[in-house]
Amino acid sequence: MTKQTFPNSLLPKNINALAAYSSAKSQKLTGSTWLNANESPYSKTIELSLSDLNRYPDPQPESVIQAYAQYAQLDKDQVVMTRGADEGIELLVRTYCKSGEDSIALFLPTYGMYKVTADSHNVTINALTQDLLLQGSSEQIVTAVGNSKLVFICNPNNPTGSTTELSKISAIAKALENKAIVVVDEAYIEFCPEQTASSLLQDFDNIVVLRTLSKAFALAGLRTGFMLANTKLLAPIRKVIAPYPVSRVVAKIAEQALQADAITQMRRQVTILNRAKTTLVQWLKECSAVDKVLDGQGNFVTVQLSNKADIDKAMQSGLIMRPFTLYEQDNWLRISIGNEQELEQVKNWLDALNAQQ
Ligand SMILES: *Cc1c(COP(=O)(O)O)cnc(C)c1O
């Protein structure tokens, strides 16, 4: 290793070794159709009138907590509001893992932020596989988890769309009682609400459910998420979280997004997006350039192409989707479910691929 100069010479080893996190939005791509970040195609204009911005906000805005608790059918003291589910992930690692000593377990391929967060806090990754999670028995899974402190189950899983049965999640939580915390990341749960693990909080003090307004609620720009868990688990989190994490502006908008009529509208949009996904999956399965279609839950579909260069053709035409390396192959692509016009762009691209065969 080359000798570092200031200020890098001051960096702890784990920070120095970090690769810049590449989110769907960190690259400067040019395009016209954005289907790369699992955002909702529905945007609304919000008008606000606020007069009290000279005052610090409520650390946990009462009206938002109340509304989310009602939506999730939980008590208010089981809800913590965060700056996106990403902050929830970070709070769990910072609060429950000892730097340089502890590990978290995750099931690859999965959402990238678990590893990024663990790396930045010098927490080790116990890298398990989705195959183990889906096909293994709970005994096999718990054995592989070993003494990892946190077990991240992304449900539905980004980017494969697969879901883990609740009976398996509860069996894992049961076996890990008093030993580890099972974190169920439900960023996409509104697309399959019957799969939520939130009812397991009745029986388990070692389960946390992560939620967000970024996907089905169409508010990725707001940066709002929630941690759902029992009070004992949340108490230390409440000590670690920033004193005023949620601005008054954000709280006001989140409150509106959780009104009954807004929730009805969100559910209507989910129905439309789920229907559009079925259509897209059909097109993909009929396309000769597509080898595999992972049509699971969530507002996205992940496919393997026969030819990676076909992705560039889409990019060149302004159709931006998210390329992935999965199972050590770099010809995977995740397509977010957009609106009708956006999916028409995908159709045009697929038609062109069919024509060239
Ligand atoms: C998008 C996403 C998140 C992040 O949500 P934010 O609330 O925008 O931080 C968390 N987990 C998964 C699996 C996601 O896909």
Distance, in Å, from the CA atom of 169 to the CA atom of 167, rounded to the nearest integer, reads: 6
Q: Which atom of ligand 1 is nearest to the CA of 215?
A: 1
Distance, in Å, from the CA atom of 20 to the CA atom of 10, rounded to the nearest integer, reads: 18
Q: Where are the alpha helices (DSSP H) in the chain?
A: 13-16, 62-72, 84-96, 113-120, 130-135, 138-145, 166-175, 231-240, 248-257, 260-286, 309-316, 340-356
Ligand 1, atom 2: nearest CA belongs to which residue? Answer: 187
User: What is the reported pLDDT for 28?
Assistant: 74
269 in contact with ligand 1, CB cutoff 6 A: no
Q: What would the DSSP string read from start to end of 108-138?
A: ES--THHHHHHHHTT-EEEEEEHHHHHHS-H
Q: Which atom of ligand 1 is nearest to the CA of 87?
A: 9
For residue 214, how far is its CA from the centre of ligand 1 (angstroms)?
7
For residue 124, how far is its CA from the centre of ligand 1 (angstroms)?
21
Which residues 6+ apart lie within 8 Å of 74 measured at CB? Answer: 198, 201, 228
**For a pocket test of ligand 1, which of 110, 214, 250 has the largest count of ligand atoms closer than 8 A to its C-beta?**
214
Residue 14 bridge partners (DSSP): none
User: What is the reported pLDDT for 21?
Assistant: 67
For residue 352, how far is its CA from the centre of ligand 1 (angstroms)?
33
User: What is the reported pLDDT for 24?
Assistant: 66
- Crossing angle (nearest 10°) for helices 231-240 and 84-96: 100
Domain edges within the chain: 9-42+262-356, 62-257
Buried b (16+ CB within 10 A) or exposed e, 248-266: bebbbbbbbbbeeebbebb
Q: Which atom of ligand 1 is nearest to the CA of 220?
A: 8
pLDDT tens-digit map of 101-117: 999 999 999 999 999 99
User: What is the reported pLDDT for 2?
Assistant: 65
297 in contact with ligand 1, CB cutoff 6 A: no
Residue 47 has which token pair?
A: 């008008």
* Pairing label, strands 329-336, 319-326: antiparallel
Which residues 6+ apart lie within 8 Å of 176 measured at CB? Answer: 142, 145, 151, 182, 206
220 in contact with ligand 1, CB cutoff 6 A: yes
**For a pocket test of ligand 1, which of 114, 158, 246, 334 has the largest count of ligand atoms closer than 8 A to its C-beta?**
158
The CA distances from residue 49 to 122, 154, 176, in Å, are 43, 37, 48
User: What is the reported pLDDT for 193?
Assistant: 98
Of 131, 190, 223, the closest CA to residue 337 belongs to 190
Q: Are 217 and 257 within 8 A, CB to CB?
A: yes
pLDDT less than 70: residues of the chain: 1-2, 21-26, 357
Question: Which CATH superfamily does the domain covering 9-42+262-356 fall into?
Answer: Aspartate Aminotransferase, domain 1 (3.90.1150.10)
Overall fold of domain 62-257: Aspartate Aminotransferase; domain 2 (3.40.640)
Ligand 1, atom 11: nearest CA belongs to which residue? Answer: 187
Q: Which atom of ligand 1 is nearest to the CA of 214?
A: 8
Give the angle subtended at the CA of 305 by the CAs of 303 and 307, to the nearest 5°.
160
Give the angle subtended at the CA of 274 by the CAs of 210 and 71, to the nearest 5°.
40
For residue 144, how far is its CA from the centre of ligand 1 (angstroms)?
25
Q: What are phi and psi of 105, to 5 degrees?
A: -105, 140
Of 244, 255, 212, the closest CA to residue 63 belongs to 255
Q: Which atom of ligand 1 is nearest to the CA of 37?
A: 1
Residue 153 bridge partners (DSSP): 184
The CA distances from residue 135 to 93, 130, 249, in Å, are 27, 8, 45
